[in-house]
Structures are given as structure tokens and as C-alpha cells.
Structure 1
Amino acid sequence: MKNGFRNWSDIRVFLSVFREGSTLAASRKLQVSQPTVARRIAIPALSPFDCTHDGR
């Protein structure tokens, strides 16, 4: 998993979120649930909420 995506479907979901502007809009476009879209694009390296081990 070099680039963080597990398969081509994840890239399709990511592009849909980018084009539609939100996970909710992308989920409607892709006809899947919003939590599914959010889970499919959850890439630890891109998460703005990651903390270091010392709490910062």
C-alpha cells in the first residue's frame, strides 16, 4: 500500500469527494452511506487530527 489507497475504488471515492466538495454529497452521488465514504478516504498520513505520542 504505497500511496495509502487500498484499491481503485478508494481512488474513485476520493475523487468524488474532491469533485462534490463533501463526503455527504459524494455519498449521495455514489449511492453509498456517508460513513462508508468517510471510512474509505481515511488515510492516516493525511489526517489533520494526528497527534504525536507526547500529546502535541
Structure 2
Amino acid sequence: MRMCTPIRGLLMALAVMFGTAMAFAPIPRITWEHREVHLVQFHEPDIYNYSALLLSEDK
């Protein structure tokens, strides 16, 4: 039983440190304003699946 005490203490210390690190971690944003990012909008005629543009050799 004496072997469990150091391991338990180590696990508890790691849990406290991990919890503290998570408390100060930045919170990811799930929304953004259109003016906050510089996106380029484009449209190709007769293209409805834009991943097909990645396969196109002439673009």
C-alpha cells in the first residue's frame, strides 16, 4: 500500500497543474465578424463544387 501513496500524490499534483493551465488557456472563438478576416470571395461559372477547382489542371 505504501507504493500507492506517492503515485496518488503525483497524480493529484498533475491534475492540479493541468487544471491551473487550463484555467489560463485562451478560449477558442466560435464566431467571427466578416470584417475581422480578409477573405477573398470568388465565383466560377458552372462550378458548384469548388473542391473540383483543386483538381483542375488549367486553373
Q: TM-score, normalised by structure 1?
A: 0.26
Larger radius of gyration: 2
Q: Which has the higher helix share?
A: 1
TM-score by length of 2: 0.25
Say which structure, 1 or 2, has more relative contact order (CA 8 Å, 6+ apart).
1
